[in-house]
Amino acid sequence: MKPRTTLLIVLCLALLSVAALPAAFAAPPLQESEPTAVPNEETSEEEVVGVRLDDFNANSSSLYLVDPFDPASRGSVKARMTRGARRTAPNSPLHNVTWVSYYGRPNVDIMGILGEFDLDELADRLQTQADAYDDANGPEVGVQPAFELVHGMALCCQNEDNSFLGFLDDEIVEAYINAAQERGFAVVLDVQIGNLTPQEAMARAFKWLKYDNVHLAFDPEFAMREPGQEKPGQPPGYVTAQEVNEVQQAMRDYMVENDIPGRRVLILHQFLLSMIKNKEELEQIYKVDMVITADGWGTAWQKLGKYNSFIYDDVEYAGYKLFYRWDDPVMTEAEALGAALHPGHVYMDFTPNVIIYQ
């Protein structure tokens, strides 16, 4: 995680590992603004649900009542997805697939693996990592590699427009989009909010949705919310559920107004409970597939404790971040999917739909 907040993150990880936070699993259900899928002549009810009901019923208790030494008793990777992921429609970018992304800022190696290599080598490495997940996630689930660019990066100093954000030049973004299209990869453009409202910050990335392989993400850590705050991330920021819903609605409206077909992924990073206020009020918005990603580095048991606290069945889609440099050790693909028991007898309760490497 970012050096400025290292001590705070370590303390929070320790607290989260002690407190199991079982109440997180009992959170009220999400409000659903529009249906995520409607059966029609070309889409059977079984396809809309995304998993055979007999398979899910047989494994529904495996999330909590399992033999910890018998991974098979937990059911398949697909059966352990959240309710939203199990029911997603075939036109969703997350339907029956594990996203594997490489995160960072081009030419800034300290921010993640994406900035450590040129495009060709990066793409080769990403494909190799994605192939490993394709082997680990079973025959029912495919894989989708993605470049995740920190497009709007938080700045330590005030800039001309007072946004405290520095956006990538269009030429750089286009280069990654074109390279991704040639390989069949997705692109995620990440915005760190800064001194703007979440909707203002994200609107600066909407123009890239004209490319059918482009999706979006935002990071509340760098939202400047405190009176007199001088730098993003000090202290860590937050978003409210209402603000997240407004971002989703604005994204949907932009797509409708500009005749952009299909659905797009929107990733929301979280490494503290306080980063998403009133989380139970998050809505599921038509044309937007919302992913909550458990962020933060540390030992596997710390990270799993945090993930299992943040991700419950009413979260639409789940994400998980791994750090090549900072995790000790970096979890295996099977462990990161909850398909293998990590030493210490800790499992991931719900299968992540998105795995991010930084």
234-257: pLDDT as tens digits: 999 999 999 999 999 999 999 999
* Helix intervals (H) in 238-332: 241-257, 300-310
* Least confident residue range of 33-47, 153-167, 291-305, 324-338: 33-47
Peptide bond into 220 cis (omega under 30): no
| Distance of alpha carbon 315 from alpha carbon 103, whole angstroms | 22
pLDDT confidence bin for 357, thresholds 50/70/90: very high
Are 177 and 210 a contacting pair, CB within 8 Å? no
pLDDT confidence bin for 6, thresholds 50/70/90: very low
Higher pLDDT, 40 or 168: 168
**pLDDT for 59 beyond 80:** no
Total residues belonging to the chain? 358
| Distance of alpha carbon 164 from alpha carbon 159, whole angstroms | 6
Query: How crowded is residue 105: how many other Cβ atoms within 10 Å of its Cβ?
Result: 19
347-356: pLDDT as tens digits: 888 999 999 9
pLDDT of residue 275: 96
pLDDT of residue 122: 98
Q: What is the 3-state secondary structure (H, E, C) of 184-216?
A: CCEEEEEECCECCCHHHHHHCCHHHHHCCCEEE
Token representation of residue 246 = 């407004």
Q: Is 113 exposed, middle or buried (CB count within 10 Å of its CB: 0-12, 13-18, 19+)? A: buried
CA angle 343/341/81 to nearest 5° reads 140
Query: Nearest to residue 50, comparing CAs of 1, 94, 105?
Result: 94
What single-letter DSSP state applies at residue 322? E
pLDDT of residue 162: 81
Local structure of 288: helix, strand or coil: strand
pLDDT of residue 67: 53
**pLDDT for 273 beyond 90:** yes
85-140: pLDDT as tens digits: 999 999 999 999 999 999 999 999 999 999 999 999 999 999 999 999 999 999 99
* Least confident residue range of 29-33, 178-182, 197-201, 319-323: 29-33
259-293: string of b/e by CB count within 10 Å (b at 16+)? Answer: ebeebbbbbbbbbbbebbeebeebbbbbbbbbbbb
Q: Which amino acid is at 70?
A: D
Q: For the whole model, what pTM was predicted?
A: 0.80
154-179: pLDDT as tens digits: 998 888 888 899 999 999 999 999 99
Query: Nearest to residue 298, comparing CAs of 258, 256, 338, 328?
Result: 328
| Distance of alpha carbon 104 from alpha carbon 24, whole angstroms | 30
pLDDT of residue 113: 98
**pLDDT for 260 beyond 70:** yes
pLDDT confidence bin for 51, thresholds 50/70/90: very low
Q: What share of the chain is helix, strand, coil (3-state, %, to 5)?
A: 40, 20, 40
| Distance of alpha carbon 200 from alpha carbon 216, whole angstroms | 14
Q: Is 154 exposed, middle or buried (CB count within 10 Å of its CB: 0-12, 13-18, 19+)? A: buried
Which residue carries 């910890």 as its tokens?
68
Q: Of the segments 64-78, 256-270, 320-334, which one has the largest average pLDDT value?
A: 256-270
Q: Of the segments 3-7, 15-19, 261-265, 325-329, which one has the largest average pLDDT value?
A: 261-265
DSSP 99-111: EEEEEEBTTBGGG
Share of the chain above pLDDT 90, in %: 68
pLDDT of residue 328: 83
